[in-house]
Structure 1
Amino acid sequence: MAEVYVSIGSNIEPELHVTAALDALQDHFGELQVSSVFESESVGFDGDCFLNLVVGFNTALAVGELSLLLKRVESENGRVKNAPKFCSRTLDIDILTYDEQVGNIDGVSLPRSEILENAFVLWPLAEVAGNKVHPQILKTYAQLWQAFDRSQKLKPVDFIWQGETVSPMKSAI
């Protein structure tokens, strides 16, 4: 079984689509590690704020199979195929890490470069996988978050999933 971390983001009916993503991931993979949910401004375009989080789980699927499954979940939630990279979206699910694999595997670049570029990826990843080591940088995600430029506006927000508060976590990093 591979240990996987994915990012989830939405700025079109985000509560609905983030909930749908969490439900779908739980249906496919069982127990999930769920970070706090963060509100962030859109990056690269003018648009509504996003809700972002990171989810960890174990899977027997290969990287390519997992990528296809995540694309299907996006599509089932109204994601427009071939839309511009910087635009509003119902749901975006990206594989951040797959065990300690590095490189282009089945068309997926691992680990995902956005880990080191965007607070809305690194902060929630540091929450759920703070002691895990970035396979290229060789620092933990908690260390990377501590050293990260905090100029991107990002804040944890209240989020309820399946009747339970998953956000904000009591011990924010």
Structure 2
Amino acid sequence: MNDERNAGAAGVVLVLLGSNIDRQRNVPAAVDYLRRHPDWCVTAVSSIYESAAVGGSGEQPIFWNAAVCMKTGMTPSVLRNELRLIEAEMGRRRSADKFAPRPIDLDIALFDDLEIEIEGSHIPDPDIVRYAHVAMPLAEIAPNRIHPSNGRTLSAIAETLDRAQLTVIDATSSPQR
């Protein structure tokens, strides 16, 4: 599907944040970066959720995950590039190891009701229906949002996933909402 949109039309986007390097500093800093960006408006920020790393080999540091809801006139591909620039500014160096520890990861989970692929990244993010650390922060800020591929709400999806290894970090530690 083409990711072009009507110029100037504001899309509603859910972005996932994750960090397992200096996570106590990097997740709030990423939220600050997102809030200050002139080309979108952050409308909601989830709590921070702590979870073990998924995938990769060996021991990995614990992850902090969160989600933000934003409105933007950007296309998904332009937004993705802007998110990559923020990652790089925060010290992320991408490598062939997609499970490598990272100071910050910013991924588009949902963009309006689009179902597209941008350079190997799928929107909606397929991990929404696989992992509680992805679904829970999204469901917290947009519980009634419909997943365009399966027609279920984010809240309904989150309720089906195993949350046993997921911890909500105290609200005083989470980014200002």
Task: Decide: shared fold, TM above 0.5.
Answer: yes
Q: Give the equivalent residue in structure 2 for 1:41.
A: 52
Q: Give the equivalent residue in structure 1 for 2:17.
A: 8
Q: Distance in 2 between matches of 1:22 and 1:88?
A: 19
Show structure 1 runs of 4+ deviating over 4 A: none
Q: Distance in 1 between matches of 2:118 and 2:94?
A: 21
Q: Distance in 2 between matches of 1:85 and 1:106?
A: 14
1:1-173 matches, within 5 Å, as 1-28=10-37, 29-45=40-56, 46-105=59-118, 108-151=121-164, 153-158=165-170, 159-161=173-175, 164=176
Asked whether the 8 Å contact 1:3–1:56 carries over to 2, the reply is: yes
Q: How far is 1:145 from its partner?
A: 1.3
Asked whether the 8 Å contact 1:4–1:96 carries over to 2, the reply is: yes
Q: Distance in 2 between matches of 1:26 and 1:109?
A: 24
Residue ranges of structure 1 left out of the alignment (5+ in a row): 167-173
Query: Normalising by structure 1, what TM-score?
Result: 0.87
Asked whether the 8 Å contact 1:64–1:108 carries over to 2, the reply is: no
Q: Distance in 2 between matches of 1:160 and 1:122?
A: 17
Q: How far is 1:44 from its partner?
A: 1.4
Residue ranges of structure 2 left out of the alignment (5+ in a row): 1-9
Q: Distance in 2 between matches of 1:4 and 1:41?
A: 26
Asked whether the 8 Å contact 1:64–1:107 carries over to 2, the reply is: no
Asked whether the 8 Å contact 1:4–1:59 carries over to 2, the reply is: yes
| Range 38-47 or range 106-115, more displaced | 106-115
Q: Distance in 2 between matches of 1:106 and 1:40?
A: 27
RMSD of equivalent CA atoms: 1.6
Quick one: which amino acid aligns to residue 60 of structure 2? G
SS at match of 1:31: strand
Q: How far is 1:30 from its partner?
A: 3.1
Aligned length: 162
Asked whether the 8 Å contact 1:122–1:145 carries over to 2, the reply is: yes
Give aligned-pair identity as a percent: 35
Q: Distance in 2 between matches of 1:138 and 1:85?
A: 29
Q: How far is 1:107 from its partner?
A: 5.3
Decide which structure has greater strand share: 1
Q: Distance in 2 between matches of 1:127 and 1:77?
A: 26
Q: Distance in 2 between matches of 1:99 and 1:106?
A: 19
CA offsets 1:120-159 (integer angstroms, 9 cap, x no match): 10011111111011001101011111222335x1110122
CA offsets 1:35-77 (integer angstroms, 9 cap, x no match): 1101101111321101101110100011111000000000001
Q: Distance in 2 between matches of 1:14 and 1:149?
A: 23
Quick one: which amino acid aligns to residue 166 of structure 2? L
Q: Give the equivalent residue in structure 2 for 1:169.
A: none
